[in-house]
Each structure stands twice: as structure tokens, then as C-alpha cells.
Structure 1
């Protein structure tokens, strides 16, 4: 009864947005920093706040230089194109990675780079042996694309936000060097991985030649990503950014918010991870839903609807939205939620209450819908065996 009352009380007034960590709103500190940001023309290379952010990010990631870009998709595209500077080059990447699935095939359509897919394991890794087997034999250059690059994703979103260990990343880096290749890490949520693994972020990406880091995901800035690498890499990246339309003028307004996010929100990621585990544990108590608890390493939770459960993800998402809870539908039997610093422990409990009420009500409705049928068959049996009583 308490859960039902909680749902009714919060039905209209409360919004709990669990669609992604990209939905966070700028904090008051971010808005103040944006309003007072010192700016200049960044295309000409003179915006002082952009310079501060890029310097800070390069230092944090242990690389020589950095570049602000409008989005993670552009950051990954630029990075791949710098490393694969000849059309017809090939990049080895996971079959379920973000670059391969969710970035419009830009490396192929814009860059002329061929994606060589290797199966991702459940933990987001690719088998080292399979990566090495995918590297083209130079003796076949008349027929094959030329392998130039290996890409990793950390955390790996399609694997539930799981983390690639520093040991694994180092091994891939060693393999790349052995074959004269470059290593790029799509580190959209690399700070989440660093916190979850207890490994400094610069050590986690030490083996990489380049890294893209999203500012608007885990750490909650409103806009942008940063790519880091050598000075030569960033010089080439800056030119490609202009080519792709990513050069912007007074970007210090955006970079100021990112600086606040770096200072204030990295330390909140551990709390986000705890809330994700709390939500996952609670969902596993809801009959009809299942979460692979082992996959919840950071701030993402994938929810599967068990076989035999009458309701589908679309119906659950609609029910939740009517109660102010926004959930991402992945398929007819799967949903995704992502925790962030603007979701409280109370929000998690409210969401759990709504899931519980929805699934319980749905099961009761299923049972009730069977009553007329049961009564009909009962009367039929009475009529057959006791005809004189009817």
C-alpha cells in the first residue's frame, strides 16, 4: 500500500529522467561560469577559456595536447581520420561498439575508412587473438584494405557500461605497436571507468595514441567532447575539425561549464554507480523483470523482461512516463536506464515503486482476464455431468 500511495502522490509533480546521463541540466555553478567566461575567437586559436580546458584535459589524460569538439561522434570521426589518412584504410573495432553502431557509419561514408568488425565479448572486450587475426597481411595489399588502427570503447555502452581493465588495454596497445598500428579509445565515459576500477584516468589510457572524452555524459557538462593525443595528432585534428564544420568562435562559454564539471562532478560518479547497483538489486526483486547484476559496473542498467511476462517494454515505458519516470526502450523486451548526479536515492526508490506497481497490476489484470473463461468452462462441466441441475 505504501508503494501505491507513493506512486499516486508523485504521479504528476515529479520527473525522474533515466534515459541517459546526457539529459542533465547545467548547474547554477556552470551557468555562472558560462555567464562570466572570458572568450575570444577559437577558430583563430585565441579563446582563453578553451585553452584552459584543453590544457587541463591534456594534463588529466596524460597526453601532450587536446582539442574541444562539438560532439563525441565528431571526436571519434576526427580521430579515426587522422590515423587513417589514406582512403581505403581499415580500422579494427568491436561489432557492438558505439563507432560501429551509433555514429551513422561516418568513418566509411565521410572518411572512406573500412570497419573490420571483431566480435565483442559480454564484457566489452575483444579477444586479443581475434584482433591480431583481423590485421591484414601486408603481402595482400593488392587485394586488402590496409590496417591502420584499433579502436576500443571504455566504458562499453552496449555491454552495460562495463569497464576495460588497464591490463587489457595495455595488451591491445602492445599488439598495436607490434604491428605498427595506432590505438584510439572511445572514452566517452572514461571517468566512470577510472572511478569504478580505482585506476587514475591517465594510467587507464596510457597505451592509447588518442582518446575522445565526452563532457556531456558522465560528468554532466551541457555540450561537447575533447580529444587528446600528441601535438602532431591535435594539429591534424584541428584542421579536420574545421573541415567538418566543428570550428566555433567564442566557445569559452561552453568550455567554462566543462571546467566546472571536471572540478565538481567527477567525484560524484561513485555515487552514481552505487545508485545504479541499488536500482539493479531492486529491479531483480520485481517479478517479471531481470537485470544481470554482474554487468552493472558503472552507471548503466539494462532491464530484461522475463519470458512469460505478458507486458512489453513499450507499455512499461509509457506507464512510467505517465508517472514522471523516463526510461529508454531498447527493444520489445529490453529497457535501459542511466544514473547521473541529478538522480537522488529517493528518485531510485520512487522508480522502483512504479516498476513494482506496474508489473504487479499487470499480473493481476492477466489473472482477472482469465476469470470469465474459467467460469464458462466450469458451467460447461456442470452442464455435461449434472444436466438436471441446469
Structure 2
């Protein structure tokens, strides 16, 4: 029996398109550490224009892009960053800003919609006047955060507060083009409210490697120095940047298809099994669908209900010809992510598998 796998764990699983592979093979190359790779330079100019900044820098990963940005903003020892407690920088980058940069993170509680109380940010701001405390040097914000798009009104208010406190803002915009697509605005209308931003090319944008940092010319000059320190200086990097150019020029315009698939999936699992799952459809606006599993469902081997659900969706011992991979986030929350290679037929197969799992699991109650 041939088993079909539908992998919804992350959009990092997206693959470079045929056009990307051709562009990579034919890319004009040079030494990027010397600033002489013409394809990298084209990508950087394109990114600076698209996100409305003076300059841009191609880096190997989004994690490195965020770390470089924090290090550049927090140049002085004894600095701290204010950031959301659910943000990627805080939760999923191994505490790199503390471990490698010596920068203290101070968290603000993310609200269900991904924003945070600006009054809490103001209350946690700390000047260098008191020698007992780290000095607040930067605000980091993630948009979108787990698929939830922050309203432009929040970004406007955040910019106003940052200006009052004389603090720069770094935007972890790994999927900011998804946010722009959902809002129906150009990406630069979101990034304008941040001093710097990190944008990932290898998630839903399908490039095999890389992110871009955007900011002022002065900032990017400093970022190049930090990139070299961290081992991110690449040589003939145009073979990678060529794919990134297609990411920004072509794939970015197709992200709405991934959003449609995420919404279709979320609506249908709720319709098929309202007793098993709970979904806040207002938060399914990009390519990520987060949903909660009924905690009363029986589990095995000490697993959480989220882990049990993920296992059942992937297991084929029930005779199913479809294996669906997802990620468990905490005890009851599951994440499904949609990207370029996930077709409407794949979504339908995932829903058929879901219906089979829901029916069998429900019978065990």
C-alpha cells in the first residue's frame, strides 16, 4: 500500500521551485564578504526597496538575523530588550541574545491576539540611571506571531511609545509578507514602524536558505561586522540569493493561496468535529492554523492530548493511506502550517484523515 504524506509541521519544509533551481544554477557570482557578489547585491537592493529601508543584508538564517540585529542595537554591555513572552526570539532561539550577546531579555505578556499592553511595556522600561538594573535599549516585536497578524493601529501606537522612550524597534518579520498579504497592504507599510526588520526567505517563500535584515545604511554596516563575527559571512552566496530574488518577486504574490488553505482546513475541522477541536477562526488569517484538542479525549503512554492527536494523524495502522504530520504546541494545542507545495488536494486528504481519526477517537470515550 502506497502511503501519501501531507507534512504540515512547518513552512520551513517548502522546497525551491523549478525556476529557483534554474536561477541558482545560472547565478552570476562573486565574493560576498568583499561585497562583490552581484546576485546577492541585487537581492539586497530588492529587499531594501520592498521593505522601505536604506539598505539590506543577506544572512544564512532568521535566527542569526535576529541575533545580529539585537547585538547591533544593544552595542553597550548591560543592555536589555523588551519583547513578548511568546515571541520566537524568546522561546525558540535558544536564548541566544543572552547566551551569545550578553543581552538581558525582559518579557511582556502577549495577549491572545499577539499584541501586548503598551502600558506594561512602559512600566518595564528601565533607564541606566539606577546602577542596579540593566538599561532598556530595544523593543522587539514579532508580526505575524504564530499566524496572528498585529493590527497596523498597534504598530502605530508601539512606534509612538518607542519614540517617547527614545527606543528603537526591531521587527522579527519572519513572515511579514504573510501579514502584508492578509492586510492587503505593501510590506513597507508594516516595516515602516520598525527601525530594523528580519525577513525569512526559507519559510513560505520557498528559498532553500536565508533571511534578509533591513535598516539604515549605518545599521547594515555594523550588521556586516557582526555577521562576520558569528560566522555568517558567505562567499559565492549568489547561488542562494538567486532563489531569494524569486521568493520576493514571485512566491510572495502567491501566499494568499496558503492562507486560503489554512482557513479552509480550520473551518472544516471545526465543522467535522466541534466536540473534538476548538478553533478561533478570527486568528486564522495567514498560513498557520492553531487549534485546541478537547482535554477529555483518552491518551496513551502518558502523552498529552495534543501529542496523542499528532500521533494518530501520522499513524497508518488504521488502514489509512494518508499520513499527516503536525506539531504539538503545549498540552492541548496543535499547529498546522500551509505552504507552496501543499495543494488543495493535500488539504482534502488531510481532512479525510482528520475525519477518520476523530470518529475512531470519539468511539473510545
Q: Would you say same fold, with TM above 0.5? A: yes
Question: Displacement, 1:218?
Answer: 2.2
2:178 maps to 192
2:264 & 2:122 partners in 1: Cα distance? 39
Answer yes or no: is 1:281 the counterpart of 2:280: no
1:114 & 1:319 partners in 2: Cα distance? 41
2:14 maps to 24
2:81 maps to 91
Greater helix percent: which structure? Answer: 1
Q: Provide structure 2 residue ranges, at least 5 long, that are not aligned to the other structure.
A: 300-304, 317-321
1:240 & 1:83 partners in 2: Cα distance? 11
Answer yes or no: is 1:214 the counterpart of 2:200: yes
Q: Provide structure 1 residue ranges, at least 5 long, that are not aligned to the other structure.
A: 1-10, 368-390
Work out which of the residue numbers 137, 141, 151 in structure 2 matches 1:152: 141
Answer yes or no: is 1:102 the counterpart of 2:101: no
Answer yes or no: is 1:179 the counterpart of 2:165: yes
**Contact 1:165/1:204, CA 8 A, preserved across alignment:** no
1:338 & 1:293 partners in 2: Cα distance? 15
The C-alpha deviation readout for 1:176-195, integer Å capped at 9, x for no partner, is 12222111000000000001
**Contact 1:169/1:205, CA 8 A, preserved across alignment:** no
**Contact 1:81/1:111, CA 8 A, preserved across alignment:** yes
2:248 & 2:85 partners in 1: Cα distance? 31
Identify the range of structure 1 (295-304 vs 93-102) with the bigger mean alpha-carbon deviation.
295-304
The C-alpha deviation readout for 1:365-385, integer Å capped at 9, x for no partner, is x26xxxxxxxxxxxxxxxxxx
Answer yes or no: is 1:318 the counterpart of 2:308: no
Name the Cα RMSD after superposition: 1.4
Equivalent residues in 2 for 1:269-348, closer than 5 Å: 269-285=255-271, 286=273, 287-311=275-299, 312-321=305-314, 322=316, 323-348=322-347
TM-score by length of 1: 0.87
2:128 & 2:297 partners in 1: Cα distance? 53
TM-score by length of 2: 0.93
Question: Displacement, 1:138?
Answer: 4.3
2:319 maps to none
Question: Displacement, 1:300?
Answer: 0.7
2:50 maps to 60
Question: Displacement, 1:363?
Answer: 2.3
Answer yes or no: is 1:34 the counterpart of 2:47: no
Question: Displacement, 1:331?
Answer: 3.2
**Contact 2:297/2:361, CA 8 A, preserved across alignment:** no
Question: Displacement, 1:320?
Answer: 2.3
The C-alpha deviation readout for 1:132-155, integer Å capped at 9, x for no partner, is 111114432x11111111010000
Question: Displacement, 1:15?
Answer: 2.2
Length, aligned pairs only: 352
Answer yes or no: is 1:15 the counterpart of 2:1: no
- SS in structure 2 at match of 1:325: strand
The C-alpha deviation readout for 1:271-329, integer Å capped at 9, x for no partner, is 11111111001111224122221211111111211132224333332332233321112
1:50 maps to 40
**Contact 1:189/1:213, CA 8 A, preserved across alignment:** yes
1:206 & 1:263 partners in 2: Cα distance? 20
**Contact 2:128/2:134, CA 8 A, preserved across alignment:** no
